[in-house]
Structure 1
């Protein structure tokens, strides 16, 4: 087996490992609110999220094509595969660090940061206009939109049910959370599994085994399976942060936060092919519904720690990826 083919196999395997870590790191995005409000048991919520992640991963390819050809253009051969490998390791490292700390950071931005860092270290072509329009702009706007829409939707919801019996209304929202949690998990699969598909296609193209930006069926199935298995493995540390440490959620607020986040993810994927962070979206939506009680209901100290992790994600993963590429470059050039 020559070096290029060996590297293709290694990169695809590492990409699926990243996809698995994405699943357990971001499982909380889909199920933290439902588990916290006791709308679903942890086991039921994890199974539901894993199944819907699988379906979501197979729904489209727009985000995958953005990641696969829109962020950087890699060199061909072993050098390009070294870039992709370094990017994936940088993203995995950041996922593991933030998971250990219980911080809901973005796996999407970790991957994009890894691609940027390794690409710059390799003097690859970086598509800054795509990064500005489809990465930087959504990175700023999606948390703001999530917060504002969730706040507004929660205010309207509270007004709509103001005269309903409390216990019956509470039970209704608990049942509705099954639907909203499934919708959120579908959006997570739609967004995050596609990013791994894009990276695998990038590796196949660098290895001379694929042309164009279309996604082979086996790549879709492999990425969908990996993120679903990762989700099934769970992410209890981050779930605790999202579900309890930011605010104390109730079923109504959980339902609204999940519904708003799902809508943002679907619009970003289908309308703009933009790789939006599910973590940023659901976290900001949780803050938005919590702020309808009073601003002090949101634990802003915890929110500040999360924001620091958000800011550091791209540069930290980029730094790790760049350093690793510089180590690998004598062997792949």
Structure 2
């Protein structure tokens, strides 16, 4: 099968490239710039040469259509997006990139009758814990986004439902949480990766949100959920919560100190501001997906990859 992967030069996209190539699939990466900074952190040399790159803007529908036609694409994985800080800084452009870009992919799927679109939503569509009486947030819970980014993703979910109902466009949206792992360099929730890297390299780190319990979602689980979503039977649910395991930030700090007892980590008080407790029953029941990695396993693998990249001994 031939996959078009938008935003493939980012963190999650890089792991998806790796997994699709390992499965023998044809991968066409559509991204704004040919920047191998993140892919070189994860992919072997032969994998860096194993995909086709197309430079393009996600807001350019004609170019997207040409790319799909020229490369005989069957499925699209749409990851191209801005993160929370960029969206808040430029709301008009965020609407174009995050919303219009996703609508372009859905429109292309309608025109070419593509087999499946898998796209990245976010738990940022939901609100603060008090919006849900501090209870677990169900998959179909109402949206109370606190950021422009979350509002854009919420709109995208409505468009995906419309394209499915009106045109039969088969799409699956996945709401990711606090993704961490080598290559995670952007976004507000990247602090967990930054902390692991600092400890692995023997550097001090000031960790924010020390009073919070977040969902530790390892990037390899995220990539696997995307690959599973590409080929599973058509689901009843259009968008799924995807989670790792909710654990206090302090637990992550404590585990890192078992790896490096003299690690210099300073915990700042405060919370992230959104809920992290999500019900992921629908994705388990309809797609058969559950995470493989515990917080400790994901941290250890990330820690050792940072050490290996720096030429340091692994634990």
Q: TM-score range by the shorter chain?
A: under 0.3
Q: Which has the higher strand share?
A: 2
TM-score (norm. length: structure 2): 0.27
TM-score (norm. length: structure 1): 0.26
Q: Which has the higher helix share?
A: 1
